Amino acid sequence: LQTPASLSITSSQEKVSMVFRKLPGVSASGMGLRLSQKFVFLLFLSGLVTLCFGALFFLPDSVRLKRIFLSKTETQPVTVGSGSENDAREPLKRPKDPEPPRGMTPARGETSTKLKNLSRKPTVSREATEERLAAGKALEDFTLYGKFKGCLLKPPLGRDSGRPADPETNERREKVKEMMKFSWDNYKSYAWGKNELRPLTRNGHIGNMFGGLRGASIIDSLDTLYIMGLMEEYNDAKEWVQTSLDLNSNGEASLFEVNIRYVGGLLAAYYLTGEEMYKSKVMELGEKLLPAFNTPTGIPRGVINLGSGTSWSWGWASAGSSILAEFGTLHLEFVHLSELSRNPIYTEKVMNIRKLLNKIEKPHGLYPNFLSPVSGNWVQHHVSIGGLGDSFYEYLIKSYLMSDKTDEDAKKMYYGALEAIEANLVQKSPGGLTYMAEWRGGILDHKMGHLACFSGGMIGIGADDGAPEKRQHFLDLAAEITHTCHESYTPTKLGPEAFRFDGGGEATATRLSDRYYILRPEVIESYMYMWRLTHDPKYREWGWEAVEALEQHCRVESGFSGIRDVYSMTASHDNMQQSFFLSETLKYLYLLFSDDDLLPLEDWVFNTEAHPLPIIRKSCMQDEATLGKTVSE
Ligand code: DMJ
């Protein structure tokens, strides 16, 4: 059987023999044989040459043969510039790595990113130029961070990370560290990347406060893990921020919550570690918050869509108003955003709020909780040192302290507000307890929220800068408020959400709906400040009571949970481990049992979520000599 292919071969062989038949003296078959031998030989030779040439590429650059056969550009050292012949022959020298400013060591055994970047080899391509620019920026960042470090009076972590000499105190501190590790490990096992852990159902909670941002517990824990020396856990947290914190969310966020937890948490992580990654993340986030200020008065609204920038007021806030504790709790973080970005816009935004509040008439010198972002007028006359008002007052005194005591307006506003509070809100109960009532258009509501218990610490840290004749009085007032809040912690030794001083009650929750405790920090926060200010051992004892109570009533198999009734010895858990438990409650307890040189108050202020921000020493930062300065570790 003949296939069409075999037919075609036969026909071409016939064509060749027809050609060879025309050459005289050579038989067609003999001539074809010799030609095909030559052809095979030539093929072999050319293959050999190709192989040898190819092999040249595998020789080391120093072999002469290689330099002869291969072009110069591939083997010569890279050169830059159009200088003299001599210059051209010089291999490009690596720019000398800048010496780290004295006193600036990479964070806790890590090589910081900026140092790694600075030591990378440059090339002459476009990438090289970009790399050089990046290196220049890294150097600038490095310098900025070095300057900030040089302006601290003391090392942030103290002589020995705040380890107390007294063995019992140290044991207590270790216990708090164990509680942090336990909370963190369970969050990591069951809720990694979500906002909070639900410890009973062992899953994660996302909620709707952060506009689609995730990992609130991670961001809130960064600095706590770091100061406790839980480095493995800190590194997991850092890696998550680096690889998984997605700021391109498109949801509705509380401007206040995102600011105090995310902006505050990232800023603190940057200042403690010098990791540029935190800085660039917080810059990106800060920009997304700016559209909230686009209102007729510049007073931001409470809710912002992080994607579109559209903002609006909370549905529950009367007549589309903004909340004092929300727009009044941006100052510390925004001033630091301006510091780091060298862009004044953030400071301008919060200064504008300050200006309006300063100008507007205040009933009896008090600041009501609701203000219209459109008209700039108060909407209701409800005044409270607790929820809706609280951290506005806190940020006044802390703005003054954070400015290295140069922000005189903040100081004036703070002491003015405190005077009005004392005149109108501060009360003594029949049993002799000092408390802060709430004020509704002149009528007092004799109730104090757990949130208002932060005010013991606030009045304490501001005591020393008040008028000389008032200093002792302020310190006494701070101690009295803290004492009242401690009194509310009974019988479980945990405190209710709100307690009253009327109807025969003394710091007692009379309504069932006020009896819950959601792992809040405020009372413990005041213990910490009062300990630092007075060293009265009772504050450490009270803190230890709280640790034991948390262990007994809030610790469950897979984390810590809030409870529904602080008056019941059989706990009913709310199944939520709040992120502020990791950021604030456990941090303040840890600081309470540490030496005062861990995050010393001479250098740091804590934002309202307990994230430490450094005091800005403007004149020191501008001083050329600062970079070489150091504080002894
Ligand atoms: C925290 O998020 C902050 O302290 C805020 O200022 C008020 N409430 C919680 C903790 O209770």
Residue 315: name the closest of 208, 206, 442, 452 by CA.
Answer: 208
Going by CA atoms, what residue is nearest to atom 8 of ligand 1?
Answer: 451
**Please, what is the average pLDDT of the chain?**
86
The b/e string for 108-138 (b: 16+ C-beta within 10 A; e otherwise) is eebebbbbebbeeebeeeeeeeebeeebeeb
* DSSP secondary structure of 12-77: HHHHHHHHHTTSTTS-HHHHHHHHHHHHHHHHHHHHHHHHHHHHHTTS-TT-HHHHHHS-HHHHSP
From CA 582, how far away is CA 151, in angstroms rounded? Answer: 29
Residue 193: name the closest of 218, 210, 160, 157 by CA.
Answer: 218
From CA 425, how far away is CA 408, in angstroms rounded? Answer: 25
The yes-or-no answer on residue 522 being catalytic is: yes
Question: How many angstroms separate the first and last alpha carbons of the chain?
Answer: 97
Residue 446: name the closest of 454, 457, 436 by CA.
Answer: 436
From CA 567, how far away is CA 494, in angstroms rounded? Answer: 9
Q: Which residue has the tokens 């009372």?
A: 523
What's the token pair of residue 119?
């030591």
What's the token pair of residue 324?
């004092």
**Atom from ligand 1 closest to the CA of residue 325:** 6
The yes-or-no answer on residue 390 being catalytic is: yes
- pLDDT at residue 38, as a whole number: 72
From CA 210, how far away is CA 216, in angstroms rounded? Answer: 8
Partnered with residue 612 across adjacent β-strands are 606
- Residue among 323, 580, 588 to mutate when testing ligand 1 (max atoms within 8 A of CB): 580
Going by CA atoms, what residue is nearest to atom 11 of ligand 1?
Answer: 520
- pLDDT at residue 61, as a whole number: 43
From CA 237, how far away is CA 222, in angstroms rounded? Answer: 6
**Atom from ligand 1 closest to the CA of residue 450:** 11
| 520 touches ligand 1 (CB under 6 Å) | yes
Residue 196 is classified by DSSP as: E
Residue 610: name the closest of 226, 224, 350 by CA.
Answer: 224
- pLDDT at residue 26, as a whole number: 37
Partnered with residue 380 across adjacent β-strands are 370
Q: Please give the radius of gyration of the chain, using alpha carbons only, rounded to the nearest integer.
A: 35
Count of other CB atoms within 10 angstroms of residue 238: 22
| 527 touches ligand 1 (CB under 6 Å) | no
CA 115 / ligand 1 centre spacing (Å): 36
| 609 touches ligand 1 (CB under 6 Å) | yes
Going by CA atoms, what residue is nearest to atom 10 of ligand 1?
Answer: 520
Residue 455: name the closest of 384, 370, 544 by CA.
Answer: 384
Question: 10-residue block means of pLDDT along the chain (633 residues)?
Answer: 33 36 39 60 70 55 44 30 30 32 37 41 68 80 87 97 98 99 99 98 97 98 98 98 96 97 98 97 98 98 97 94 98 98 97 98 98 97 97 98 98 98 98 97 96 98 98 98 98 98 93 97 99 98 98 98 98 98 99 98 98 96 71 53
| 259 touches ligand 1 (CB under 6 Å) | no
- Helix-then-strand count for the chain, H and E: 25, 19
From CA 566, how far away is CA 322, in angstroms rounded? Answer: 32
Phi, then psi, of 466 in degrees rounded to 5: -75, 180
From CA 172, how far away is CA 541, in angstroms rounded? Answer: 10
- pLDDT at residue 127, as a whole number: 80
Residue 608 assigned as binding residue? yes
**Atom from ligand 1 closest to the CA of residue 518:** 11
* DSSP secondary structure of 412-471: HHHHHHHHHHHHHTEEE-TTS-EEE-EEETTEEE-EEEGGGGGHHHHHHHHGGGS-GGGH
Q: What is the pLDDT of residues 214-265, one digit of tens each?
A: 999 999 999 999 999 999 999 999 999 999 999 999 999 999 999 999 999 9
User: Using N-to-C axis directions, what is the helix angle for 522-534 and 471-487, rounded to 10°?
Assistant: 140
From CA 399, how far away is CA 405, in angstroms rounded? Answer: 8
Please tell me which residue in 220, 522, 525, 584 is annotated as part of the active site.
522
From CA 169, how far away is CA 166, in angstroms rounded? Answer: 5
- Residue among 451, 574, 611 to mutate when testing ligand 1 (max atoms within 8 A of CB): 451
| 455 touches ligand 1 (CB under 6 Å) | no
Q: Is the Cβ–Cβ distance between 342 and 365 less than 8 Å?
A: no
Task: State the DSSP H helix or E strand holding residue 560, giving kind and residue range, or none if neither.
Answer: strand 559-560
Please tell me which residue in 257, 275, 438, 525 is annotated as part of the active site.
257
The yes-or-no answer on residue 275 being catalytic is: no
Residue 248 is classified by DSSP as: -
What's the token pair of residue 53?
């040439």
Q: What is the pLDDT of residues 36-81, one digit of tens each?
A: 677 667 777 766 766 655 555 555 444 444 444 443 333 232 222 2
Task: State the DSSP H helix or E strand holding residue 233, giving kind and residue range, or none if neither.
Answer: helix 231-244
Q: Is the Cβ–Cβ distance between 183 and 576 less than 8 Å?
A: no
| 608 touches ligand 1 (CB under 6 Å) | yes
CA 428 / ligand 1 centre spacing (Å): 26
From CA 349, how far away is CA 404, in angstroms rounded? Answer: 21
Q: Is the Cβ–Cβ distance between 215 and 245 less than 8 Å?
A: yes
- Reported pTM: 0.81
